[in-house]
Structure 1
Amino acid sequence: MSVVRRTRLSAAVRGALLFAALPGLALAQQEEARQLDRIEVTGTRIKKAEIEGQTPVQVITRAQIERSGLTSIGDVLQQITASGSALNTKFNSSGNFGFPPDGGGVAAGATTVDLRHLGPKRVLVLVDGVRWVNESSGSGVGGVVDLNTIPLAIVERIEVLEDGASSIYGSDAIAGVVNVITRRNYEGAGLSVQYGEYGKGDGETGSVDVSFGGTGDRYSFFLGASYTEQKRVASKDREQSSVPVPGTGVALGSSAIPAGRFIFRDPNTGAVLDLVPNPGVTNLVYNPAETGCVRTDSFHCFTAADRFNYAEYNLLVTPNRRKNLFGQVRFDLTESTTWYFKALYNNRFSINQAAAEPFFLGTAVPTNFWADNVVISASNPYNPFGFDLVAGPGGNFILGGRRPLEGGPRVFEQDVDTFYVATGLEGSFSAGDRLFFWDVNAVRSASEANQTNFGSYNARRFSVALGPLAACQAEPGCVPLNIFGAGTITRAMLDYIQPVVRDYSDNKLSLFSANLSGDLFDLPAGAMSFAAGVEYREYKGSYRPDTLTVTGEYNGVPSLPTSGKYDVSEYFVELSIPLLADAAIAERIDLSLAGRYSDYSTSGGETTAKVGLRWQVNDEFLLRGTWAEGFRAPTIGELFGAASGFDAVLNDPCSAPIAGGLQANCAALGVPPGYVQPNPQISVVTGGNRNLDPETADSVSAGFVWSPAFGAGAAWSERLDFEFTWYRHKLEGGIQALDAQTQLNLCVQTLDPAFCGGITRNQLGAISNFSNFLTNFGRIDSRGWDFDVFWLLPQGDWGQFGFTWRNTWVDKYEAVGADGSVQPQTVGREVNNSGIPEWSSNLTAEWRLGSWFASWTARHKSDLWELCGNARTFPVCRDPANNRNRLGSTTFHDLQFGVNTGWWGNAKFTLGVNNVFQKEPPICLSCTLNGYDASNYDIPGGRFWYLRADFKL
């Protein structure tokens, strides 16, 4: 290998990203002259120093990870400024999100990553440059990587490419690439122990990591084991999350209440009543002569005060326990050939919890066949009315809402196993005076999830137990059901109607790849380099729901099994062409070209290309730019996901009072005057689409890196670097279902069959069917820019200080459906539990003096706005006249302090506090869980402290 001179700018491009370790920076600067010209950079397959800086790559070092106090790769990545909204353990997802319209289910307990707000499915996750297996969710076939399957203990660093890279890596790399680099050259044994909890004494988090490694003349190995446990934080233990919508009390709570709510027409008098049993009454008496709300019997008319506060049963932080083993060995077969082997096993056990499952009966809130057509028979010994309550067309039973607290909350347990085995050869050879590098790799990985649901109900049995006594007595095990009054459901009743539901899903990935790179020939400005390779992948996935789920008896919401597989063969080539060197206008100009052909068994061939230019003006200033084509092939869930149902929280625009101008449209849809939506939960049917085409994208980036000479070696600055990147992503044919609330709004506003075709209503005006299937959506247009500053001060009597300031501004985000409808998600707006802040910023100050070190980080999000929805009549809605609420800008502060003692195996102790000033997240009125956006903010009342001890022998 030849040695090349490393310029100040080259060191800035690579080294400015390592400010987390100040002594390491000084060491890196001292050893610049000894760096080799063959290096691996995420975003290119060519191993060459001149490639550095061609694309924006953010490096998160192990020191930075430890400084965060976080125990998940996903949580670390969700704090970078380019991150968008993604699932994490602050989303209490299973019982509340149901089955999203992508066939992937909800991977409750998982943590994912989103870059540039384009969605987790458009981010490619690699481990040591090789794809990782997609998640298994327990409720579908997932299409993204669960980062909780990659233990933090094995990570050396994380490289984040914030640019399109489909021509380099293939499908999914539209928004960028996350490359997790594992620990390899490790000497000795290490032990790391961490414990932390929130200031209120809950959410305890602990981890233990054990590491062991060694190197010899021809080998190196690393073994690691870790255990991480995160305990729950209950919603009721924080004021902001203790009610359904902050600032509204129980007024927007559920109409399914523990005592039961019953709307019916008395066949004797014709009076329509909305009654609730009085508290504490065990033997209910109904007086049909009392046809109003002034009553002396055992009932009173339903009011907002009767609504149920389901929020206090939710979780702010979900329990999550992870155990894993990892090992890798490398052995030099010859001086130029190395064999490697890696293996991992990871187990995640997680829990989600929701309030006791509500049950709605009657035609006002259509949910399922049995509930919509139920008959609460007069022969049921607990029916206090003395006549049949008959649902369905022509019946007298309009609505029955019951929250069976007797059966306990809904609890969803996920047990997820991930297996990974990889082996391969890598090496180099000479041809003439050229050195070439090659590698071959084989990977087999799988993720399997079992989800067990406690606390739900069998809709068919519910109906039988309420019906004629003779029918119940004819079915083995049936016990007549008493839903009239709180606490009336006995253990025997529950044993008949309450099953344990078990679902299973898996994802499997088999991969083979071979790559070759090196210099082809010399040009006047230097050697022309290339990389080329082939890759074959096979994906298999399945989802096997419980038999009760398939038949629709599990709460009446059917979900069918899913199974599918596909394979892809790919071929790529990449060129680095030096155009100019040592000229007046440039120290160096390099052109990069890349192309990849992908042949999918499901969708056919796809070709992508990329062009990049790196213009190093001088030692201080670098200009760079890229244009790239990208694509994402449909996943197994998106293609083969069977039709299934989920309960969406939707506000019906035709619910009284109707906004001005929509009364006629609502009447045309069959909504009678005075209709009031009895429950915001509407059953939505969704599923995959085998006719989907791949998404395609064009990505452009341009920027500079500036390391001014006046900021190097000065009395006030040891080193100063600036980085600027402008980006734009234009996505066509995005795979997505129309946002359900948007579809409903547009249907009412336009009466267009394109929106109304999947929505039907019954004779009462209530929505009885809502279809929402996947399609190639239209386009997404997103652009913005990053600006980063890195400043290292000289060593002084007070130690050495370093500052890192990272910023992302989102200038535009527009999603347009295939029919031309503009979706609600845009810059500065909160929609569906996620928002896109215009400005995200992280400022970190670090200090080190001898063995002591400290850091301070400020994490900032600019303000957002949202629609107030049903909360618009409450003072918490800041602009009720325009139905808008502002979520103010928010800054969280984190502090860390520690010491390297040199005792007991070079022990290092670290004490940290995140959200030092207990900054509350802004109240979110449209968020369906816990009153805040869990993807952008820390939990309410969320000061978190932690203590970490590291030992190395």
Structure 2
Amino acid sequence: MNLSLLLLLPGLAAAQDAPPPVAPETATSATTLDRVEVTGSRIKQSDAVTSQPVAIISRAQIDQSGATSIGEFLQDMTASGKALNAKFNSSGNFGYPSDGGGIGAGSAQVDLRNLGSNRVLVLVDGVRWVNESSASGVSGSADLNTIPLAIVDRIEVLEDGASAIYGSDAIAGVVNIITRKKFEGAVVHTKFGSYGHGGDDVEADVTAGTSGDRFNGVFSASYVKSKAISASEWARSSVPTPGGGPAGSSGTPQGRFIFCDPGITTPGTPGFCDPDTADWFDMTLNDGTTTPNYNGGAPTGPGGTYHGFNFTADGFNFAPYNLLLTPSQRTSIFGSASFAISDSVSLHGKVLFNNRKSTNQAAPEPIFVGPFAGTGGIADTISIAANNPYNPFGIDLCAVASPTCGDGTANFGFITKRPIELGPRIFKQDVSTWYFNVGIDGSNDWGPRGMDWNIDAVHSENQADQHFTNGFNVAKLKLALGDVNVCNATPGCVPLDLFGGEGRPITPEMFGYVTAPQHDSSKQVLDLVTANLTGDLWQMGSDRYAGFAVGFEHRRYEGDFTPDPLRQSGESQDSFAAPVSASYHVNEAYAEVLVPWLSSFSTDFALRRSQYSTFGGATTGKAGFRWQPMEDLVVRGTWSEGFRAPNLGELYGLTQFGDTLVDPCGSATHPGPIDPSFAAACGAQGIPTTFTQANTQIIKFTGGNPDLQPERSKNYSFGAVWSPSWAENLSWSRRMDFEFDYYHYKVTDAIQAPDTQALLNGCYDGSITGTACSGFTRGAGFQLNPPTDFLDNLGTITTSGIDFKTTWLSPELSWGQLSASLQSTHTLKYDAVDDEGNHAQRTVGLEVADSAIPDWQTNVQLGWHKADWNASWNVRYISAVDEDCGNAGTTPSTGCVNPVGLHELPATTYHDVQVGWSNAFGAQGLKVALGVNNLFDKEPPVCVTCSLNGYDAGTYDLPFRFWYMDLQYKF
């Protein structure tokens, strides 16, 4: 069997539904394939099995998946890790992640080998695609929602490092999206799908093309609209927290009040308002209260309207206000054309416009004021005046020491209030992408078989705006809660009532003064010029030629992030963010050589030199081999160096993030005796054994570092492809193929922020000492001050694993033809270690920070095809993972029964089916398909530590069945 047939094999192409089996005449023609360029090498080759593993995803596979975006499709590959998609609903309610790239709300990205989407290079027709902005930063990742699915001819995924071929960002691999270039006639396509709980999906696109002796042209216009699914549609959202834990949020509609009354002292304590908070109130209003009664300083006693705050009983369940699926509307226009000036020279061009409108929603924004808020900003300094007309306590609540506070000490922890009467926070994104490409292709008769060359110039930009409503201006909160005389003298100021709970709602007039809509914008621009030359150097045998490719590329990156002025000044309660406006350029040259020493053995080498305006130069290399000891078997391997230059967000971003950290000295989520390993360090700081963390979120400052250097990597792979001849043309088998690859990556000088939880734990159990612990300090009431979590070239990431793929195709029988394929990835190791030897929590088999690395991910496809009918059954398997109960709290209902135990997220299997009918109802060119994804309505496993919706949206599907009908008519 000629191994070039593997280009056509559905099972070895991708982790998705198999297309209809290849007809015999197609397979025969494949044995005389022309030399083509396959992702991973610029040298045109006729061998489909190259030295590196490349998955080739056909248009038929995409159509049979039911996917509405490229990102949705690719994230089901077994080699994929966690990446943003429409199931993520965080826009600003937690703040900004530490990578400087922003939140990416509404975008869809791709991760390979669990190394992060910023370590995957996205190409379109072999040329770099602009990175996304999404109005929250300057990202190093591409948004696949900017590329309409309608224009895709196929997708090539290089599951190997390729910096020597393509430059920066190709550490984990490359996704090359090949667009339709030669298309005759027109196709009208529409699709409707629904989850049955909202989330209706409507798609419509038209593609038309024509070609002649010298001209090819393709035009496509598409529209996709996906509606939202509220988290309230899922029964699990009714539990106290999305994951089933006891905590919820301390920002409750009834309010939470932590303060000390200087007129009241607890017997046996040394003085008023002691730092150990022994004589402090921590209370909330009783349900049903309409008139708060402080009851002469006995608010929790008989006649009082308060009780001691308890997370289990009083924590606010924010889950029903979230979205399980965020709505999105995408509109795009694409055109491409080529014109042959002569037999050897042609011009080509492409233009694309894509617009995305998407929305995220969060629970009503809680108001946190007072030192325990821990924002590091204005909210921590807010005091509440005794003459505030709604203050029921009759005393000044002082954030700092003041003569009006009894003995002159500060007596205020914080007051929180969740104003559900205002409505949820809404974040609306409007993102437009422009892409222009013009180039020239040519060939000449240099060398033994001629050479090919091309020059391309590209301008692309991604412009995003985000409008945020129902957020607060903290500076106005300070005025509205302070001295009422100052408020009355300030134009527009209305004294604010945080004390009446749900029984006395905040009035529209009060909201009118303290709320403030906010507008953020960002933009990324990529301009590049690239030139490539490829051909043969010399002949080495009757049918063997030494091939080469050389090229040059110039790129200029420009990034701007303009957060709302309230964010920049710290007056937005949502989050602080600083602006970014910067650019850099890079010049690169590469050379690649392929030497077929024997008809069965070849080697390839590549070298690339890059010169950056930000940090200087870098050189990367690659070596590979291909050995075919017999017709049925190819053995292959690669070794390569990689690097990733820090992007603009990583260099210059500065933001905040609300991390769901657990304080080792007294957790909010599981109060009680602290872990004995932390006790000594907590006691040494004077922290009382009765201390409890005030909030489940601890604000930290995150951002970039202008002194960052590039990441470096080394990776190698070794594998084999076997197509046994004994399985060809039998009564039970027409062909069978097997593919096996081992991969190993080591990234050094990795750009990352410290694992704050691991660092915090280590500083208190004594395993980490020195300057690494200097960022953890404590303020009022022993609450943690906001730590810094800035990026640095911190250490090393190592990961390794095994890919196994197999495909079987039956002969054509009277009742049809069967196919079966399997793709499986077994991740053997993932370890991230910083430069001081501290290991991050993230590892194989562990759920942490809303992300998991299952040790096994497997996809199986079964297919049937007869005449105009085909059917497929796709099974996706994800092995079990554990999560650390110490990051969640004691939740007996889910199995987290002690702070040091583990909670299992069991193995999960999804089933997707589709039936297709070509030339339906006797109409030539009409295709009808009906499909159901998640056929058995499998729910994702409960994740106690996951934020927002209580499951890992990067690993698991939505909890509902999705059915769809797809119609396509070609004429």
Both proteins in one fold, TM over 0.5: yes
CA 1:33–1:384 in structure 2 vs 1: closer, same or farther (change >3 Å)?
closer
Counting only pairs closer than 5 Å after superposition, residues 9-48 of structure 1 correspond to structure 2 as 9-12=3-6, 15=9, 17=12, 20-22=18-20, 24-36=22-34, 38-48=35-45
Counting only pairs closer than 5 Å after superposition, residues 318-333 of structure 1 correspond to structure 2 as 318-333=326-341
Whether the aligned pair in 1 keeps the contact of 2:6 and 2:49 (CA below 8 Å) is no
Number of the residue aligned with 1:423: 438
Q: In 1, distance between residues paired with 2:94 and 2:719?
A: 40
Number of the residue aligned with 2:63: 66
Whether the aligned pair in 1 keeps the contact of 2:339 and 2:348 (CA below 8 Å) is yes
Number of the residue aligned with 1:897: 915
Q: Find the residue that maps to 1:50 and give its secondary structure.
A: coil
Deviation, structure 1 residue 691: 0.8
Whether the aligned pair in 1 keeps the contact of 2:244 and 2:891 (CA below 8 Å) is no
CA 1:863–1:216 in structure 2 vs 1: closer, same or farther (change >3 Å)?
same
Q: Does 1:598 align with 2:610?
A: yes
Aligned partner (choices 302, 308, 314) of residue 295 of structure 1: 302
Q: In 1, distance between residues paired with 2:695 and 2:602?
A: 62
Q: In 1, distance between residues paired with 2:688 and 2:778?
A: 11
Number of the residue aligned with 1:314: 322
One-letter identity of the residue aligned with 1:87? L
Number of the residue aligned with 2:455: 440
Q: Find the residue that maps to 1:431 and give its secondary structure.
A: coil
Q: In 2, distance between residues paired with 1:898 and 1:171?
A: 42
Q: Find the residue that maps to 1:734 and give its secondary structure.
A: strand
Q: In 1, distance between residues paired with 2:168 and 2:23?
A: 36
Number of the residue aligned with 2:869: 852
CA 1:432–1:523 in structure 2 vs 1: closer, same or farther (change >3 Å)?
closer
Number of the residue aligned with 1:283: 291
Whether the aligned pair in 1 keeps the contact of 2:160 and 2:174 (CA below 8 Å) is yes
Counting only pairs closer than 5 Å after superposition, residues 657-672 of structure 1 correspond to structure 2 as 657-672=673-688
Q: In 1, distance between residues paired with 2:732 and 2:778?
A: 71
Q: In 2, distance between residues paired with 1:23 and 1:398?
A: 68
TM-score (norm 2): 0.94
Number of the residue aligned with 1:584: none
Deviation, structure 1 residue 25: 4.6
Whether the aligned pair in 2 keeps the contact of 1:95 and 1:352 (CA below 8 Å) is no
Whether the aligned pair in 2 keeps the contact of 1:15 and 1:28 (CA below 8 Å) is no
Q: Find the residue that maps to 1:371 and give its secondary structure.
A: helix
Q: Does 1:569 align with 2:587?
A: yes
Q: Per-residue displacement from partner, 1:752-799 (whole Å, max 9, x unpaired)?
A: 233321121114110122111000020011111111101010000110
TM-score (norm 1): 0.96
Q: Find the residue that maps to 1:356 and give its secondary structure.
A: coil
Farther off after superposition, 80-89 or 359-368: 359-368
Aligned partner (choices 438, 452, 461) of residue 467 of structure 2: 452
Deviation, structure 1 residue 904: 4.4
Whether the aligned pair in 2 keeps the contact of 1:139 and 1:503 (CA below 8 Å) is yes
Deviation, structure 1 residue 93: 1.5
Q: Does 1:529 align with 2:525?
A: no
Q: Find the residue that maps to 2:689 and give its secondary structure.
A: coil
Q: In 1, distance between residues paired with 2:737 and 2:718?
A: 17
Q: In 2, distance between residues paired with 1:929 and 1:40?
A: 44
User: Which stretches in structure 2 are left out of the alignment for 5+ residues?
Assistant: 266-278, 402-408, 667-671
Q: Does 1:268 align with 2:263?
A: yes
Whether the aligned pair in 2 keeps the contact of 1:20 and 1:61 (CA below 8 Å) is no
Deviation, structure 1 residue 881: 7.4
Whether the aligned pair in 2 keeps the contact of 1:264 and 1:398 (CA below 8 Å) is yes
Farther off after superposition, 437-446 or 487-496: 487-496
Deviation, structure 1 residue 879: 6.0
Q: Per-residue displacement from partner, 1:605-651 (whole Å, max 9, x unpaired)?
A: 1111111100011211111000000100000111121x221211111
Counting only pairs closer than 5 Å after superposition, residues 145-156 of structure 1 correspond to structure 2 as 145-156=142-153
Whether the aligned pair in 1 keeps the contact of 2:21 and 2:818 (CA below 8 Å) is no
Number of the residue aligned with 1:708: 724
Whether the aligned pair in 1 keeps the contact of 2:49 and 2:634 (CA below 8 Å) is no
Q: Per-residue displacement from partner, 1:542-575 (whole Å, max 9, x unpaired)?
A: 1011111111000174311111111110000000
Q: Per-residue displacement from partner, 1:895-935 (whole Å, max 9, x unpaired)?
A: 11121135445211111001111111111111112111111
Deviation, structure 1 residue 580: 1.2
Aligned partner (choices 107, 111, 135) of residue 110 of structure 1: 107
Number of the residue aligned with 1:361: 369
CA 1:690–1:677 in structure 2 vs 1: closer, same or farther (change >3 Å)?
same
Number of the residue aligned with 2:772: 755
Q: In 2, distance between residues paired with 1:58 and 1:312?
A: 40
One-letter identity of the residue aligned with 1:790? T
Aligned partner (choices 656, 660, 675) of residue 649 of structure 1: 660
Deviation, structure 1 residue 603: 1.3
Q: Per-residue displacement from partner, 1:817-856 (whole Å, max 9, x unpaired)?
A: 1111011111111110111111110000011111111000
Q: In 1, distance between residues paired with 2:95 and 2:772?
A: 22
Aligned partner (choices 396, 401, 417) of residue 402 of structure 1: 417
Q: Per-residue displacement from partner, 1:191-243 (whole Å, max 9, x unpaired)?
A: 11111111x33111111111111111110111001111111111111122443
Q: Does 1:471 align with 2:486?
A: yes
One-letter identity of the residue aligned with 1:645? Q
Q: Find the residue that maps to 1:464 and give its secondary structure.
A: helix
CA 1:174–1:191 in structure 2 vs 1: closer, same or farther (change >3 Å)?
same
Number of the residue aligned with 1:728: 744
Q: In 1, distance between residues paired with 2:704 and 2:845?
A: 31
Q: Per-residue displacement from partner, 1:164-215 (whole Å, max 9, x unpaired)?
A: 11000001111100000001111111111111111x3311111111111111
CA 1:755–1:875 in structure 2 vs 1: closer, same or farther (change >3 Å)?
farther
Deviation, structure 1 residue 670: 4.3
Farther off after superposition, 337-346 or 547-556: 547-556
Q: In 1, distance between residues paired with 2:928 and 2:939?
A: 29
Q: Find the residue that maps to 2:391 and give its secondary structure.
A: coil
Counting only pairs closer than 5 Å after superposition, residues 229-248 of structure 1 correspond to structure 2 as 229-243=225-239, 245=241, 248=244
Number of the residue aligned with 1:637: 649
CA 1:60–1:456 in structure 2 vs 1: closer, same or farther (change >3 Å)?
same
Q: Find the residue that maps to 2:51 and give its secondary structure.
A: coil
Deviation, structure 1 residue 357: 1.0
Q: In 2, distance between residues paired with 1:107 and 1:821?
A: 29
One-letter identity of the residue aligned with 1:861? I
Q: Find the residue that maps to 1:31 and give its secondary structure.
A: helix
Farther off after superposition, 744-753 or 844-853: 744-753
One-letter identity of the residue aligned with 2:608? R
Number of the residue aligned with 1:677: 693
Q: In 1, distance between residues paired with 2:238 and 2:787?
A: 31
CA 1:70–1:886 in structure 2 vs 1: closer, same or farther (change >3 Å)?
same
Q: In 1, distance between residues paired with 2:679 and 2:345?
A: 76
Q: In 1, distance between residues paired with 2:806 and 2:559?
A: 44
Q: Per-residue displacement from partner, 1:394-435 (whole Å, max 9, x unpaired)?
A: 222222111111221111111100000001011211026431
Farther off after superposition, 232-241 or 820-829: 232-241
User: Which stretches in structure 1 are left out of the alignment for 5+ residues?
Assistant: 1-6, 582-587
Q: Find the residue that maps to 1:68 and give its secondary structure.
A: coil
Q: In 1, distance between residues paired with 2:836 and 2:740?
A: 36
Counting only pairs closer than 5 Å after superposition, residues 159-170 of structure 1 correspond to structure 2 as 159-170=156-167
CA 1:864–1:537 in structure 2 vs 1: closer, same or farther (change >3 Å)?
same
Whether the aligned pair in 2 keeps the contact of 1:41 and 1:52 (CA below 8 Å) is no
Whether the aligned pair in 2 keeps the contact of 1:135 and 1:142 (CA below 8 Å) is yes
Q: Find the residue that maps to 2:680 and give its secondary structure.
A: helix
Aligned partner (choices 922, 926, 931) of residue 950 of structure 2: 931
One-letter identity of the residue aligned with 1:939? L
Q: In 2, distance between residues paired with 1:669 and 1:798?
A: 78
Whether the aligned pair in 2 keeps the contact of 1:516 and 1:531 (CA below 8 Å) is yes
Deviation, structure 1 residue 716: 0.9
Number of the residue aligned with 1:909: 928
Whether the aligned pair in 2 keeps the contact of 1:243 and 1:312 (CA below 8 Å) is no
CA 1:416–1:243 in structure 2 vs 1: closer, same or farther (change >3 Å)?
farther
Q: Find the residue that maps to 1:58 and give its secondary structure.
A: strand
